[in-house]
Amino acid sequence: MAAAGATPLLPGLLPATAHAAPSVLTGRPAVLTGRPEFPLVQGGSATAVYVDAADDPAVIRAAGDLQADVERVTGIRPQLVHALPQQVPHLVVIGTIGASPVIDRLIAQGRLNVSQVKGSWEASVTQVVDRPLPGVDRALVIAGSDRRGTVYGIYDTSERIGVSPWYWWADVPVEHRDEVTVPTGPFVRHEPSVRYRGIFVNDEQNLTTWSHRTQEPDKNIGPETYKRVFELLLRLKANYLWPAMHPYSDFFNKHRENPELAERYGIVVGSSHPEALLRNGVHEWDPWAAEHRNADGSLPVYDYTVNPGVISDYWRARARQNATYESSWTLGMRGLHDTALETKYATTIPEKVVVMNDIIADQRRILAEEVGQAAEPQIFIPYKEVLDLYNAGVQVPDDVTLIWPDDNHGNMRQLPNEAERRREGGNGIYYHLSYWGRPKSYLWLDTTQLAKVWQELSRVYEHGADRMWIFNVGDVKSIETGLSFAMDVAWDVDRWGADDVEGFLVEWAGWQFGRRHGREIAAIRTEYYRLAAELRPEFIAKGLVSVVHHGDEAGRRMDAYAQLLERARILGARLPEAYRDAYFELVEYPVHGAYLMNLKYYWADRNALAVRQGRGAGTNRFADLAEAAHSTEAALTKRYNTEVAGGKWDGIVNPYPSQIPKAPGRPAVSRVARQETSGLGVASEGNETGTARPLSFFSGTRDRRFVDVFNTGFLAVSWTAEASHPWVLLSESGGSLTEQTRVWVEIDWDRVPEGTYDATVTVSGGDAGQRVDVPLSVRNDGERARRWARGFVEAHGCVSIDAVHTDRRVARGGARWRTVRGLGRRTGAVEAVPSTAAPVTAEFAARAPELRYRVRFSSTGTFPVTVFRLPSLDERGYRRVAVALDDQPVAVLSGQSVATGNRGDAWARNVEDGVERLTAMVTVAEAGEHVLRVFMVDPGIAVDQIVIDTGGLPVSYLAPPESYRPA
């Protein structure tokens, strides 16, 4: 649908579009049907909205939102009526099949075709019907298969006339139109890919602070806040909520309006893994225990092996209290506040399995007696140590939905096997877009690559987990883009593919800020996610990313961030004033905040290096820059909370909350006391101090390298730099400095004869006549070799390969390697699919899907080859890939397959780095061209980069820049 004069509907913006009628996809339904569009507002008059008073309250309430949305667009509010008007030219008719007599009459008369949606889950049809009722010339009919199907049909209309789901939560403006018309349809929204789609509001201290300050001063997240959450969920086509549950928030049932409102909105309310049968143990157990003391007056403990009766009654009370609401019932048990299960009288795994089986049987009995047949869905969440119990034999009834958790860092731990996929209750997932816990938390910004989310969700769906998807979204704010994408995929899992995840960003950003800006905003967000995939801003630490190797890899990241921020600022300045708040929230703050978090640690690392190098005034300069970046970051967040949208978001964003894990704060820096001295110091790239490691140059990659010239004191020092050959180019050749300068060294390749040469840059200066020689190693293979080389060319002691840049891919046995664009640390990664394929453990060259890379070696020997794979898991099996050079024996590399939850171990390193490094050895007997081969062993493996160390490759956080290869 299109507002008159508005940007045309962007295909695929709405989760339904992959299932929608062709008219929705083209955006030109009037041309297809030859019928005039239907006016919602025309000539200063709004078309009335009719909904039967007997329809579901969720439908009636959402019809009121359509009424308000039309007014948001045009300034004219249509009437919402519950009685059919006597004589009108146009009418919007909203109703649910089987609950609206008008809708049922149109169906019976053959005027409204609902054959594609009737009996479906949350489906709807929108269609203009001529002369539908006596006295009505034309009607825009929105009919749903059930109450939420109707609600989603209503919100489709709102979105298509220009009201974003994020109009309130992200201040996306609604552009004014004097007239609004919509096409005639029909538009069919089939049922969603995933039945229950929702969020977990969790680790919500900032949301609680904001809610208390701006929404409900007498509460810590109450009904006024949940109204906003419920509406957002429905506009995103979600239907399910695990509410806030931490000690600093009010528990959901504390305010009886909360479950009542959820029912009125049509939201299914459940509870997280430690909250059995909708009970919030953090808040509710202690008062219950105090009222149900043991015979000796002591307090009962939350241990089913000790107090089964008291605990059972505790659960029963909530089941009885919420029996009339559409709820989801979590079975099983953990300790209070997400701690391990306490079982005093069951110490072994088999004994605990028996206890868990008893608990589930008890809970099922309670639900049958208190709720009856309406007690569905029932879910069991094998999270953390409960997964071990489940795998050891816990008997979950067949009609209960199994909810499989990720490892808290976006990697699914275990997926249903063939038998579990056949379960009546089906399977679902609990997936983190935000996380508090080991080894590190990421609660501040939306930093999980959408391509990674897509990859894991696609794998989940392939394995039959389609009943329920719950996403941990922290405070809701800052996760706007990731949440929108997750819900889009949950509605239509086939809408986006491996090569067009960025297409979602183009359309989504275009919908929020105008189609002409969609592609640039998508590019900004994609690069933002890529930099976070290298290292989440919440994971930054001192000394992690090198400031001396590979052209200052930390500095290269800062250059990329600075360029990204400049792009964001330039685009933001071009937007109309009305869009500035939304742009700051959705684009500029995440980019700028991540940049500053990295920048302060970059300067702190340069400060620490300066101390080791014996710098003088420059040491303090780096300290000042680090602290200035931290202060700028604090000011940026203060602007978000106090100025944006007139201070609407006071307290919603805070990298350093008081009660939950914080983002990295102010880095420690050192200063040196001023001394009235001067001195010349030199350190070249690849050396923490001095110049022992030569600067390496190759005609293929046409590198540039740096030499830091610095003052060891505080008084000005003069210096000069001179190259031994005329084809060595310097960015500076001398001057006077108080602190430091960085001299860039490049080669004029047109003047260098073919061959390998040693050269020198000599830096001189200081009162003592100091002189430092910087050695250079220069290799020129010639323009012909550069142009005609095949594959990757060894240089600088290594071969560095982006895995997507294959020479050839070979599919075998029904499996293949595919590129997932926007995944990993570079432009994309390659993934072995389908994820349900059988592993290949022998005869790889005949049976396994293969990647081939041509490599030209100038060195010979036995060298380590390291495969950078994305750290996916499979706690039932393996995470293996194999490599070989030419026809040499194949080496199988086994990756971490289990999420341990421990700090400092292999799994922790993998999720902090975003990659796992697997290394084998290959032998190059003769220099020249060879073929590196990578084989799938286990499906679902994704490979990002491959590095062969042919001698002297320095240890650094990132892989070296990609080796030269002809395009």
Residue 23 has pLDDT above 80, yes or no: no
Q: How far apart are CA 243 and CA 249, in angstroms?
A: 10
Mean pLDDT of 848-867: 97
pLDDT (0 to 100) of residue 274? 93
34 confidence band (pLDDT: 50, 70, 90): low
Residue 26 has pLDDT above 60, yes or no: no
- Helix, strand, coil percent content, the chain, rounded in steps of 5: 35, 25, 45
Residue 768 has pLDDT above 50, yes or no: yes
Residue 2 has pLDDT above 60, yes or no: no
Percent of the chain with pLDDT over 90: 93
Residue 28 has pLDDT above 70, yes or no: no
pLDDT (0 to 100) of residue 767? 83
pLDDT (0 to 100) of residue 951? 95
Mean pLDDT of 190-204: 98
Q: How far apart are CA 945 and CA 605, in angstroms?
A: 26
Q: How far apart are CA 56 and CA 94, in angstroms?
A: 11
Residue 32 has pLDDT above 70, yes or no: no
Residue 33 has pLDDT above 70, yes or no: no
Q: Encoding tokens for residue 187?
A: 């538009």
Q: How far apart are CA 204 and CA 252, in angstroms?
A: 13
SS3 (DSSP) at 472: strand
| Residue range 648-675, pLDDT digits in tens | 999 999 999 999 999 999 999 999 999 9
Mean pLDDT of 908-927: 98
Residues in the chain: 967
Mean pLDDT of 626-641: 98
Q: How many CB atoms lie within 10 A of CB 809?
A: 15
Q: How far apart are CA 381 and CA 269, in angstroms?
A: 16
Residue 677 has pLDDT above 50, yes or no: yes
Mean pLDDT of 361-376: 97
Strands 401-405 and 378-380, by their bridges, are parallel
29 confidence band (pLDDT: 50, 70, 90): very low
| Residue range 577-601, pLDDT digits in tens | 999 999 999 999 999 999 999 999 9
pLDDT (0 to 100) of residue 25? 25
Q: Which of 260, 404, 274, 231 is nearest to 327 (CA)?
A: 260
Mean pLDDT of 840-847: 97
Q: How far apart are CA 481 and CA 500, in angstroms?
A: 16
User: Are 450 and 418 in contact, with CB atoms under 8 Å apart?
Assistant: no
What's CA 218's distance to the chain center, in Å?
34
Q: How far apart are CA 676 and CA 696, in angstroms?
A: 37
Q: Encoding tokens for residue 291?
A: 């009222």
Q: How far apart are CA 282 and CA 335, in angstroms?
A: 10
Q: How far apart are CA 853 and CA 233, in angstroms?
A: 46
Instruction: Match 């209070």 to its residue by tokens.
Output: 336
User: Are 722 and 768 in contact, with CB atoms under 8 Å apart?
Assistant: no
Instruction: Match 């048990």 to its residue by tokens.
Output: 333
Mean pLDDT of 389-417: 96
Mean pLDDT of 58-86: 97
Q: Could you tell me the pTM of the whole model?
A: 0.95
Instruction: Match 């699919």 to its residue by tokens.
Output: 833
Residue 754 has pLDDT above 80, yes or no: yes
Mean pLDDT of 70-90: 97
CA quadruple 452, 456, 461, 462: dihedral sign: positive
CA quadruple 654, 660, 663, 668: dihedral sign: positive
Residue 565 has pLDDT above 80, yes or no: yes
pLDDT (0 to 100) of residue 22? 27
Q: How far apart are CA 719 and CA 395, in angstroms?
A: 77
Q: Encoding tokens for residue 185?
A: 């349809």
SS3 (DSSP) at 393: coil
| Residue range 412-466, pLDDT digits in tens | 999 999 999 999 999 999 999 999 999 999 999 999 999 999 999 999 999 999 9
Mean pLDDT of 801-827: 97
Q: Encoding tokens for residue 749?
A: 């390749």
Q: How many CB atoms lie within 10 A of CB 649?
A: 23
Q: How far apart are CA 822 and CA 944, in angstroms?
A: 11
Tell me whether the omega of the peptide bond preceding residue 89 falls within 30 degrees of 0, making it cis.
no
- Tell the burial category of 7 from Cβ atoms under 10 Å away from its Cβ (0-12, 13-18, 19+): middle
Tell me whether the omega of the peptide bond preceding residue 22 falls within 30 degrees of 0, making it cis.
no
Residue 344's identity, in one-letter code, is K
- Expressed in angstroms, the distance from the first to the final Cα of the chain is 43
Q: Which of 655, 606, 611, 654 is nearest to 626 (CA)?
A: 606
Q: How far apart are CA 354 and CA 832, in angstroms?
A: 39
Tell me the C-alpha to C-alpha distance, in Å, between residue 663 and each of 248, 585, 640: 19, 18, 17
SS3 (DSSP) at 875: coil
- Compute φ and ψ for 23, nearest 5 degrees: -60, -35
- Tell the burial category of 834 from Cβ atoms under 10 Å away from its Cβ (0-12, 13-18, 19+): middle
pLDDT (0 to 100) of residue 385? 85
**Choice among 22-31, 612-621, 625-634, 635-644 with the minimum mean pLDDT:** 22-31
Q: What is the mean pLDDT of the chain?
A: 94
Mean pLDDT of 243-252: 96
Residue 88's identity, in one-letter code, is V
Q: How far apart are CA 487 and CA 226, in angstroms?
A: 19
522 confidence band (pLDDT: 50, 70, 90): very high
